[in-house]
Amino acid sequence: MLRMTGHVEAADGQADGGLLFVMFHGYGNDESEMVRILDAVVAVGDGCSADAAAVARPGWLSFRGTYDRPYMGGSYWYPDGCDVASRRRECSVVGDEVVSLLDASALRNRRRVLVGFSQGGYLSYRMVREHPGVFDAAILLSPSFKGEEDATPPDSRTRFFLAYGGEDRTIPVDDQLTARRVLDASGRLVFHEYPGMAHAICDAEIADIRGFLESL
């Protein structure tokens, strides 16, 4: 069963209930990682109370990885080093459950934006591939892309934001190039690379995410 946190206001019967962020963290972290990123994008201040911060954010759901790391803490979506078939299978299980959840009446009329970092970025990409009519945009931050060398562009209307650090060696350069090639072929890709950044998030990236969302 998926573990998650979130905040979604009622849509009040509107045809478009606004943005809904559907978020997945990276290896060894938890759902709070993506909430921190969202707070930075929507500029929720440090002095803001928890209740006020929840109201200031758009609708959001942030999920915790299905596997927990013993002793070290944190969670992950698929075992490090597993083969391509196993990785895709794990992503399919999570994706099917999330998409079923999004069919709830309170969530149905939202414009859905996937946001994922590293493993969570790959999971978000796989969800677009397997559920092509569900998501309006996918923000893929330093995603793993191993095993997608022969992939065709996703057959969907989803718009993509893809970003890597220029010094990211956690994700091999060849996998980064694969991600850019596959998604660029969709004709709906915005790509950014950040010089000097490793496998992380930077202020310039937050600003670019904000600009991408404003264009939706």
Query: Which residues touch 28 (CB under 8 Å, ≥6 apart)?
Result: 69, 72, 73, 74, 75, 76
pLDDT greater than 80 at residue 178: yes
Q: List the domain boundaries for the chain.
A: 3-7+18-214
Taking only Cα atoms into account, the Rg of the chain, rounded to an integer number of angstroms, comes to 16
Mean pLDDT of 62-84: 95
- According to the model, what pLDDT value does residue 196 have? 98
Q: Indicate the pairing of strand 67-68 with strand 75-76.
A: antiparallel
Please give the pLDDT value at position 123: 98
Architecture of domain 3-7+18-214: 3-Layer(aba) Sandwich (3.40)
Q: Which residues pair with 161 in a beta bridge?
A: 139, 190
Q: For the chain, how many residues are written?
A: 216
With a pLDDT cut of 70, the percent of the chain lying above it is 90
Q: How sure is the predictor about 176, in pLDDT bands with cuts at 50, 70 and 90?
A: very high
Q: What pLDDT sits at residue 80?
A: 84
Interacting residues of 93 by C-beta distance below 8 A, sequence separation 6+: 66
Which of 9-13, 78-82, 169-173 is the least confident region? 9-13
Q: What is the mean pLDDT of residues 115-141?
A: 97
Q: Which helix (H) or strand (E) holds 90?
A: helix 84-101
The 3-state DSSP class for residue 32 equals helix
The whole-angstrom separation of Cα 135 and Cα 109 is 11
